[in-house]
A and B are shown apart, each in its own frame.
Chain A
Amino acid sequence: GESVGLHLPTLSVQEGDNSIINCAYSNSASDYFIWYKQESGKGPQFIIDIRSNMDKRQGQRVTVLLNKTVKHLSLQIAATQPGDSAVYFCAEMVWGGSEKLVFGKGMKLTVNP
């Protein structure tokens, strides 16, 4: 069935380090992917997206890489800050007549000062 999974359930890093969060997806026909950040008690916050015609996209301190061959996404956060501590989700848009997002279980990032 459809699934988007994260390889690591938790990640602890030191402030200032770079963080890499990995994600595998299962639907090779999907062509739109989004990373979200969710802080405790809040809704998911859009970070960055990428379409399947791209391999890489950069934002402010974040980079998303897409490897369609192995169906793998990664989110790189540069110079990680305590405010980056949250649960991160990758989501795959599975078109079946709707813009349905399929989420993984999430990966908790903890940034130690």
Chain B
Amino acid sequence: DAGVTQSPTHLIKTRGQHVTLRCSPISGHKSVSWYQQVLGQGPQFIFQYYEKEERGRGNFPDRFSARQFPNYSSELNVNALLLGDSALYLCASSSSWDRRGNTIYFGEGSWLTVV
């Protein structure tokens, strides 16, 4: 079975541009989360979506937005890119949305370089 799939794997953008990153969760999973991982640090939570609704948002500016589609895939959009947005963007999926927690699986990420 396919795991969490993300595209593109690598991309280079110029400051001020926008970027769209895509994610398909594990089959049957309805929750998608996005994380940003800067080199040398642990991932930082950006968003969680479940059943197409935003369930949580981390400490990121409004330039970051996301959405989830009826098939549970998701897009992360970042506008007005800054050099500091250069990072590995990780998508994660889980089967549901539960305060007790569910196993969360990550994709391989999209490497974004802003120049």
Contact = CB atoms under 8 A, between A and B. Distances in A.
Interface residues of B, number: 32
Contact of B101 (A36, A43, A51): A51
A96 B57 CA distance: 10
Given A36-B106, A43-B107, A45-B106, A99 B101 contact: yes
B102 interface: yes
Nearest to A5: B42
B63 interface: no
Contacts of B44: 103
Query: On chain A, which size bracket covers the interface?
Result: 20 to 34
Given A32-B101, A34-B103, 8 more contacts: A4-B42, A51-B101, A95-B99, A98-B57, A99-B98, A100-B56, A102-B45, A103-B43
Interface of A: 4, 31-32, 34, 36, 42-46, 49, 51, 89, 91, 93, 95-106
